Amino acid sequence: MNVCAALALCVAGVATQSPPSPADGVVLAEQYFKNVQALRGIPVDEFMDTMGMFAAATGMNCVDCHVSDAGGDWAKYATDTGFKQTTRRMVAMVNTLNEGSFGGRQRVTCFTCHRGLRAPATLPSLDLQYGDPPPVDPDQITRSTPGAPTPDQILDTYLQALGGAQRVAGITSITGTGSYRAYDDFELSPLDLYAKAPDQRTTIQHSPYGDMTITFDGKNAWMAAPRDIRPFPVVQYSGGNRDGAHVDAILEFPGRLKQALTNWRVGPESSVDDQDVQIVQATTPSGFLVKLYFDTKTGLLLRSVRYSDSPVGRVPVRVDYSDYRAVSGVKVPFKRVATWTDGRTVFQLDSVQVNTAVDASRFAKPKPPTPPKR
């Protein structure tokens, strides 16, 4: 099991039971895991996002909260520890604060106090007080910034930078092969990408333990993964994870962006890796919010940011785009870096084809992966 997969999952703090076998649908955490107490009634994928939020807020990983020998045995994550018991009390405290002082809105989260520290800091930092505070991007743009370009102007510049609106609109499918490396992985592993307009997308990450597949069929999303990487063979995404998979599929076809997303707003200028960017916000038909960061010089998309809700706060997911190369006259980002609270994966495409036939079966609900022969 690679380190990234372990870190992403070990923080879950629960053990798998015999997997439920319901009809197609979302499975709740307590249906799948043991010893779930404070986080009952939420889908499995949202439960995992919550574990990532704990890790991001405290700077801790799986063995910090769970028994040290749980690394290779999912059942041992159910064992109670002092940290797990404290976490349950903290969840109750945060809920009480938000209910009593903010009308139930999530104004206080684990990160509010911890900010990456195991124990919240209590002394003020003079360097922070008298230094330049780090830039903070708005989590939501409530109104367009006066004097900024219009959304249409920014999107038109983007399409022109890609190769022209007509050429970009003519892309109906994308297939690609390449490699990926998860956080702390030392070796690259093969990757396949399939996308079909307007909003279907599948990625297959091949690993020594079996294939991990993430699919959005235009309506529903799933992840299938080997047991060495994830404790569940197939999980249906819910809420923000499903909507996030939808956004990833939409962004494969920029020629349809104006129609696919609505409620466009232009935010302030910011920077991505020392490059000036213009932030543009939009929503999917379901109301899911996504922020797009366009290079003010080249017009190209450098970053997307979206958020999934969890019982302990909103969880950010960021994708950075680079290494644009022309394919049939249209620029495609060959490098994408996905970062979220419990992992980071670098995807590097080596070969991309457009407008080739993609079988509909590529976007069907994935089957549980078959472990490779060892």
Kindly report, residue by residue over 172-192, the tens digit of the pLDDT.
999 999 999 988 778 899 999
Helices (H) and strands (E) in the chain, counts: 11, 13
pLDDT tier, 65 (very low <50, low <70, confident <90, very high otherwise): confident
367: its two tokens? 């089957």
185: its two tokens? 């992985």
Cα(63)–Cα(298) distance, integer angstroms: 44
The residues that bridge with 176 in the sheet, in sequence order, are 193, 352
pLDDT value, residue 15: 39
pLDDT value, residue 341: 85
Alpha carbon 70 to chain centroid, angstroms: 25
Computed over every residue of the chain, the mean pLDDT equals 86
pLDDT digits (tens, 9 = 90+) for 346-362: 999 999 999 999 999 99
pLDDT value, residue 1: 33
Give the dihedral sign, CA 89/9/181/293: negative
Alpha carbon 331 to chain centroid, angstroms: 24
Higher pLDDT, 74 or 35: 35
pLDDT value, residue 73: 65
Cα(175)–Cα(287) distance, integer angstroms: 29
pLDDT value, residue 128: 82
Tell the residue number behind the tokens 């490059």, with chain if given. Answer: 275
pLDDT value, residue 71: 61
Cα(119)–Cα(110) distance, integer angstroms: 11
Residue 22 reports pLDDT greater than 80? no
pLDDT value, residue 212: 93
Higher pLDDT, 288 or 59: 288
CA-nearest of 50, 52, 31, 29 to 311 is: 50
pLDDT tier, 3 (very low <50, low <70, confident <90, very high otherwise): very low
Q: Is 166 helix (H, G, I), strand (E, B) or coil?
A: helix
Domains for the chain: give ranges and CATH numbers: 3-114 (1.10.468), 151-363 (2.50.20)
Cα(106)–Cα(104) distance, integer angstroms: 6
- CA-derived radius of gyration, the chain: 21
Give the ranges where the chain is alpha helix by DSSP (H).
Answer: 3-10, 29-32, 44-58, 62-65, 82-102, 110-114, 126-130, 151-162, 165-169, 239-251, 257-260
CA-nearest of 258, 273, 283, 253 to 168 is: 253
Cα(216)–Cα(222) distance, integer angstroms: 7
Q: Where are the beta strands (DSSP E) in 102-199?
A: 173-182, 189-196
Give the dihedral sign, CA 161/163/169/171: negative
